Amino acid sequence: MKPYDVLFEQALTRVDPERIHRAAFRAVRAAVPVTGRVLRMPSAPVRALGLSFPHPLGLAAGFDKNAVGIDGLAALGFGHVEIGTVTGEGQPGNPQPRLFRLTADRAIVNRMGFNNDGAEVVARRLAAWRESRRRSTDEVILGVNIGKTKVVPEEEASRDYEKSAGLLAPYADYLVVNVSSPNTPGLRDLQAVEKLAPLLDAVRRRADEVRPDHRVPLLVKIAPDLSDDDVLAVADLALASGLDGIIATNTTISRDGLATAPEVVEQVGAGGLSGRPLTQRSEEVVRLLRQRVGADLTLIGVGGITTVDDARRRLEAGADLLQGYTGFVYEGPLWPRRIVRGLAQGT
């Protein structure tokens, strides 16, 4: 058993998960003078979205919602960091408790509700971060994930996403439209292609307006709970609209096949489930998408990636890039290094 496993089982599981997250993130940021520059590991760069990623593995949105620890996370070994989800207006998110562990399943349930400082505050923070890195030679690819403010009605969603895109696209290496979180009422309805198409068009136009000299790649993040037909419909929309990529997948509302006792699952309540229970479905969605879109569209595989074998299978299914979150939480700060080295060494 690894030292982190002992710490996790004997100590971290006894403390509220959100408190642990805040404490761990403070430690990651404080460790930058020790961890130093972005970790260099044996790996082959990946060309995707018109960018050169140092390796396939990145950190999924949700860990650094407010762009306060990008350098610390990159120093742990992530080749790209996706911040957010950021909304047009700042909001506190859902009432606590809103983050739960299902340790028997190596899973997490969250109903955070897009708690974040809002696009204006995050944009100022990213501007300062970009300025601080002007002389840096470290390669950190920054993704910015945007979502809908909770109080904004569905019919005004495009305006809300446009606001975030206008403020944040100037600092993003790529931009992600999140319409798949289960924790904002009505958000997943925007995955329907008749609603998603005009939304993506609006975000694309706004990003182009604020970056006329550079086209910021645009992706959409979808849920694993879509039917196969709906997954294929999103794939067709991505091709027709000139989208640059798809992130598959977000968390699930399903509770099927869990090892955790049903009464515990019921007590935890609503929210998006992430971790090992997503492995099979997320892999299936990536495979469906790749078969539909061909070789040119970038696919980012996320959901249930814990081991090197998980990562390798997701790449074999058709993902160009990978992201993790729950695996990082359960496996600890050395996890990204193990995955990247394992992929590079073929072990």
What local confidence, expressed as pLDDT, does residue 139 receive? Answer: 76
Q: pTM of the full predicted structure?
A: 0.94
Using pLDDT thresholds of 50, 70 and 90, give the confidence band for residue 10. Answer: low
Helix/strand/coil for 56: coil
What percent of the chain is predicted at pLDDT more than 90?
84
Cα–Cα distance, 125 to 119 (Å, whole number)? 10
pLDDT at 11 over 60: no
Rounded to an integer, the average pLDDT of 66-84 is 96
Name all domains of the chain by residue range, CATH numbers in brackets: 3-340 (3.20.20.70)
CB 28 within 8 A of CB 69: yes
pLDDT at 187 over 80: yes
Q: Is 65 annotated as a binding residue?
A: yes
Cα–Cα distance, 221 to 206 (Å, whole number)? 19
Q: Is 60 exposed, middle or buried (0-12, 13-18, 19+ CB in 10 A)?
A: buried
What local confidence, expressed as pLDDT, does residue 165 receive? Answer: 98
pLDDT, one tens digit per residue, over 219-271 is 999 999 999 999 999 999 999 999 999 999 999 999 999 999 999 999 999 99
Cα–Cα distance, 218 to 329 (Å, whole number)? 27
Using pLDDT thresholds of 50, 70 and 90, give the confidence band for residue 17. Answer: confident
Q: Is 275 annotated as a binding residue?
A: yes
By annotation, the residues acting in catalysis are 181
Q: Is 94 annotated as a binding residue?
A: no
Average pLDDT of every residue of the chain: 93
What local confidence, expressed as pLDDT, does residue 9 receive? Answer: 63
What local confidence, expressed as pLDDT, does residue 144 receive? Answer: 98
Q: Is 112 annotated as a binding residue?
A: yes
| The Cα angle at residue 18 between residues 15 and 151, in degrees rounded to 5 | 150
Using pLDDT thresholds of 50, 70 and 90, give the confidence band for residue 92. Answer: very high
The lowest-confidence range among 1-10, 162-171, 280-289 is 1-10
pLDDT at 14 over 80: no
Residues 6+ apart with CB under 8 A from 201: 241
* Nearest residue to 300 (alpha-carbon basis) of 155, 178, 170, 185: 178
What local confidence, expressed as pLDDT, does residue 137 receive? Answer: 64
pLDDT at 115 over 90: yes
Rounded to an integer, the average pLDDT of 75-103 is 97
pLDDT, one tens digit per residue, over 43-57 is 789 999 999 999 999
What local confidence, expressed as pLDDT, does residue 346 receive? Answer: 77
Q: Is 272 annotated as a binding residue?
A: no
What local confidence, expressed as pLDDT, does residue 1 receive? Answer: 61
Distances from the Cα of 333 to the Cαs of 35, 88, 129, in angstroms?
Answer: 11, 31, 23
Rounded to an integer, the average pLDDT of 147-171 is 97
